[in-house]
């Protein structure tokens, strides 16, 4: 006996030496997803390792809680943590199970399950079961019944990537737990016994039988009427095809960029972001985001279609089993109407296809012509199709290999309203808006002209657009040229931007010096570092669409640098703000109304250029649309401006567009930086995307002009009303000059000689030519 007592004591000491403390759960919060919302409250994404949405006990519907009690522990509010009768029955079965090498019986109360799920392991041993029972009794003495049930309903694994009832309601049914029907609550309550056994799609019959059993239990316990139970049992079990974090699905690039940004924030980091249950309000406008995604995808598809049909992406010799082969090739998830299909026949001018769902029809005649002009199409080819919105049958589709980005930004706050980082996030998560560094080409020129205006130039200043040859590295000559290899002679300043004149821009950059241009580019956030060579004035440096949008914002907002950002506010689970993008102080903003003057809130951003300079550039950008390289954007029908950009060998096409309350940057190019093809300029590839997006974005907005500075003076220059700083405006209206007016271009060498009046404004420093590129760059087709 003594030996047995010693052995029992040793076993007990070993068993309980690492016993957790039930008191640890007093302040316990289960790992919970951080949820990101658009500025209008639309849920756009979640960040977590375990998909869990914490729902406080008071917010859990009684119907849902009762469903779980009926299924798992109907005497929960009566026992002290352990159901003695239930444990006795389970132990009898466990002896048999142990003898047969089978898993131990359950029999655990909800309190015991909380102890096991949070404090213990899942080991199927009698020792663990004993610990579980002891901890359950301690929990009942430490926590309220409501708190224990709250922990259980938020901790339990329910399948479909769901921890807790909050996440399960969204993942299975696409709704909050408060909106669940009786049948849906009962189905969730049937899952703790084995989510895979009651999978709503693979094992629907078993799932509905288990659900109906739970409903009957609720009726027998008097928690629902028999009439309500019978009606609920007749309800079909319909779930989402796959777990979905958010119903809104157009912002994948934006949401991923938010995640990457949050990981680097000192207020968040990996652990807090993925387990802290934070509320995150972003700058996203879901309406603009959806419009941006559609416009970019349409623009890239239009480019791709111009460059021909590349052929089928697969081929089968027999129709037997073709669907399995077709489904191996992924569709762009953003094109929800597209389907994989097989070509049944291709005879004469008709091509018939069958989709993986079994629908059959003919391809549109225009698509047949397009395909045969390319790499052809024949029976057995595997292709993508979409319903023909203009008639019967289908349209032939092709995934573009070209890519691009679109960023739409509030120029006054820096908030990113829309961001699309490529054609399809499902096919490539590389974000070309923030990660693709490319030459901006002539879309950089407004920074050059802004630097010139800051240095003393005015809209009445004249600069020669003519051949120029400079000595570069090693004594080599560098002779930049205009896109059309022509020269328009002396031009007023704005025409250099409107017509994107390279030689004029280089001559202007040489006159003011590259240091001024580099300083302004850095102050605007366009780049962190730039070589002091004149080629940079034509956009030979590298930047991103995201950075360019930030830089252009200063032209619209009166010359202030605002920081582009995606996250507006972060609050912890208690509603305490731990991060705000707006760092401005506002004294007395929390005070009640007293009849006194309202508090004055500081303007966002640092002043980096004169407000009149900013307005002058904005006016020039409007001229690009009205009579320059971006006239297609006139179709927007509202006051807009912008600047096209096309880089060497047509590698990248840009359009940086502005409206009174929105800056939009668009880039089109290949990921390997190959040429887009001859004459694929910013005007051809990027402006149509801007036009489609802005036409829709401003559709219901009143026409609004750009805001002029209050102290600007005005004078007519070349038939255009120009803004001037006080004291710099000409005393008389300046007549049209050369190509700026109806008289046509004047030969540069006859109109103005070296050092001629008007080429450099009075008082502007004449800078020595800076060093040139170390290799000869042909920038003749920057546009």
Angle among Cα 742, 748, 750 to the nearest 5 degrees reads: 100
Here the tokens at position 188 are 């969730």
Please tell me the distance from the alpha carbon of residue 667 to that of residue 292, in angstroms, as a whole number: 13
Integer CA distances (angstroms), 11 to 5, 480, 525, in order:
10, 88, 68
> Which residue reads 């560094």 in tokens?
437
Give the active site residues: 72, 442
* Through-space distance between the first and last CA atoms of the chain, rounded to whole angstroms: 98
Integer CA distances (angstroms), 143 to 147, 164, 170, 277, in order:
6, 19, 29, 22
Burial class (CB in 10 A: 0-12, 13-18, 19+), 379: middle
> What is the distance of C-alpha 478 from the center of its chain?
41
Exposure string over 397-414, b if 16+ CB within 10 A, otherwise e: bbbbebbbbbbbbbbbbb
- Give the pairing type, strands 279-282 and 34-37: parallel
Check: CB of residue 387 under 8 Å from CB of residue 372: no
- Give the pairing type, strands 489-492 and 477-478: unpaired
Q: Please choose, from the candidates 195, 197, 196, 180, the residue with its C-alpha nearest in 3D space to the C-alpha of residue 232.
A: 180
> Which residue reads 């009166």 in tokens?
558
Q: Classify 97 as helix, strand or coil.
A: helix
Here the tokens at position 642 are 């912008």
Here the tokens at position 286 are 């879901």
Q: What is the DSSP letter of 395?
A: E
Please tell me the distance from the alpha carbon of residue 620 to that of residue 465, in angstroms, as a whole number: 17
Q: What is the DSSP letter of 443?
A: G
Please tell me the distance from the alpha carbon of residue 581 to that of residue 570, in angstroms, as a whole number: 9
Please tell me the distance from the alpha carbon of residue 437 to that of residue 343, in angstroms, as a whole number: 41
User: Which helix (H) or strand (E) is 69 found in, with range?
Assistant: helix 62-72
Here the tokens at position 370 are 């397009």
Angle among Cα 764, 769, 771 to the nearest 5 degrees reads: 140
Check: CB of residue 459 under 8 Å from CB of residue 768: no
> What is the distance of C-alpha 569 from the center of its chain?
17
């Amino acid at each position: 006996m003594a030996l047995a007592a010693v052995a029992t004591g040793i076993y007990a000491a070993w068993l309980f030496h690492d016993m957790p403390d039930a008191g640890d759960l007093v302040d316990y919060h289960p790992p919970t997803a951080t949820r990101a919302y658009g500025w209008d409250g639309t849920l756009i994404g979640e960040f977590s390792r375990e998909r869990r949405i914490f729902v406080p006990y008071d917010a859990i519907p009684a119907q849902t809680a009762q469903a779980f009690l009926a299924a798992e522990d109907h005497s929960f509010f009566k026992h002290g943590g352990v159901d003695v009768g239930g444990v006795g029955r389970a132990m009898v079965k466990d002896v048999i199970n142990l003898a047969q090498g089978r898993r131990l019986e359950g029999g655990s109360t909800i309190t015991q399950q909380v102890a096991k799920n949070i404090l213990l392991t899942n080991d199927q041993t009698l020792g663990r079961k004993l610990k579980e029972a002891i901890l359950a009794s301690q929990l009942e003495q430490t926590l309220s019944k409501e708190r224990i049930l709250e922990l259980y309903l938020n901790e339990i694994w329910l399948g479909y990537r769901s921890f807790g009832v909050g996440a399960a309601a969204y993942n299975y049914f696409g709704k909050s737990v408060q909106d669940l029907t009786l049948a849906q609550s009962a189905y969730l309550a049937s899952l703790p016994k084995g989510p895979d056994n009651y999978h709503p799609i693979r094992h629907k019959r078993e799932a509905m039988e288990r659900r109906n059993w739970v409903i009957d239990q609720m009726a027998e316990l008097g928690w629902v009427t028999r009439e309500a139970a019978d009606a609920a049992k007749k309800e079909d079990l319909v779930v989402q095809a796959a777990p979905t974090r958010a119903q809104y699905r157009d912002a994948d690039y934006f949401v991923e960029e938010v995640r990457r940004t949050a990981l680097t924030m000192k207020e968040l980091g990996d652990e807090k972001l993925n387990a802290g249950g934070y509320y995150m309000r972003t700058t996203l406008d879901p309406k603009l985001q959806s419009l941006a995604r559609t416009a970019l995808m349409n623009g890239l598809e239009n480019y791709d279609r111009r460059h021909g049909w590349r052929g089928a992406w697969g081929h089968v010799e027999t129709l037997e089993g073709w669907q399995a082969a077709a489904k191996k090739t992924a569709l762009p998830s953003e094109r929800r109407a597209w389907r994989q299909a097989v070509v049944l026949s291709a005879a004469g001018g008709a091509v018939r296809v069958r989709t993986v769902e079994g629908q059959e029809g003919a391809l549109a005649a225009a698509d047949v012509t397009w395909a045969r002009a390319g790499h052809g199409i024949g029976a057995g080819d595997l292709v993508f199709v979409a319903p023909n919105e203009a008639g019967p049958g289908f349209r032939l589709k092709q995934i573009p290999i070209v890519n691009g980005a679109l960023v739409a930004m509030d120029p006054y706050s820096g908030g990113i309203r829309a961001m699309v980082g490529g054609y399809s996030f499902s096919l490539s998560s590389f974000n070309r808006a923030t990660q693709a560094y490319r030459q901006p080409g002539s879309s950089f020129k407004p920074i050059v002209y802004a630097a010139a205006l800051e240095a003393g130039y005015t809209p009445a200043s004249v600069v020669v657009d003519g051949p120029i040859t400079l000595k570069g590295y090693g004594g080599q000559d560098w002779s930049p040229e205009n896109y059309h290899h022509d020269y328009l002679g002396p031009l007023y300043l704005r025409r250099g931007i409107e017509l994107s004149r390279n030689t004029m821009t280089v001559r202007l950059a040489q006159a003011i010096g590259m240091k001024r241009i580099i300083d302004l580019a850095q102050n605007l956030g366009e780049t962190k570092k730039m070589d002091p060579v004149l080629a940079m004035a034509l956009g030979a440096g590298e930047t991103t669409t995201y950075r360019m949008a930030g830089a252009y914002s200063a032209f619209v907002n009166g010359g202030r640098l605002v920081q582009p950002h995606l996250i507006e506010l972060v609050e912890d689970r208690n509603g305490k703000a731990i991060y705000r993008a707006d760092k401005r102080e506002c004294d007395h903003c929390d005070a009640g109304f007293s009849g006194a003057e309202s508090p004055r809130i500081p303007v966002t951003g640092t002043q980096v250029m004169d407000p009149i300079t900013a307005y002058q550039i904005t006016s020039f950008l409007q001229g690009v649309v009205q009579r320059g390289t971006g006239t297609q954007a006139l179709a927007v029908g509202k006051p807009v401006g912008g600047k096209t950009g096309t880089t060497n060998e047509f590698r990248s096409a840009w359009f940086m567009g502005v409206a009174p309350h929105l800056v939009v940057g668009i880039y089109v190019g290949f990921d390997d930086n190959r040429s887009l093809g001859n004459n694929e300029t910013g005007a051809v590839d990027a402006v149509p995307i801007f036009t489609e997006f802005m036409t829709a974005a401003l559709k219901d907005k009143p026409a609004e002009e750009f805001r002029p500075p209050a102290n600007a003076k005005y004078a007519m220059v070349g038939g255009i009303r120009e803004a001037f700083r006080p004291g710099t405006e000409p005393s008389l209206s300046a007549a049209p000059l050369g190509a700026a007016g109806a008289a046509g271009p004047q030969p540069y060498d006859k109109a103005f000689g070296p050092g001629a009046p008007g080429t450099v404004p009075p008082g502007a420093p004449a800078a020595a030519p800076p060093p040139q590129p170390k290799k000869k760059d042909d920038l003749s087709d920057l546009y």
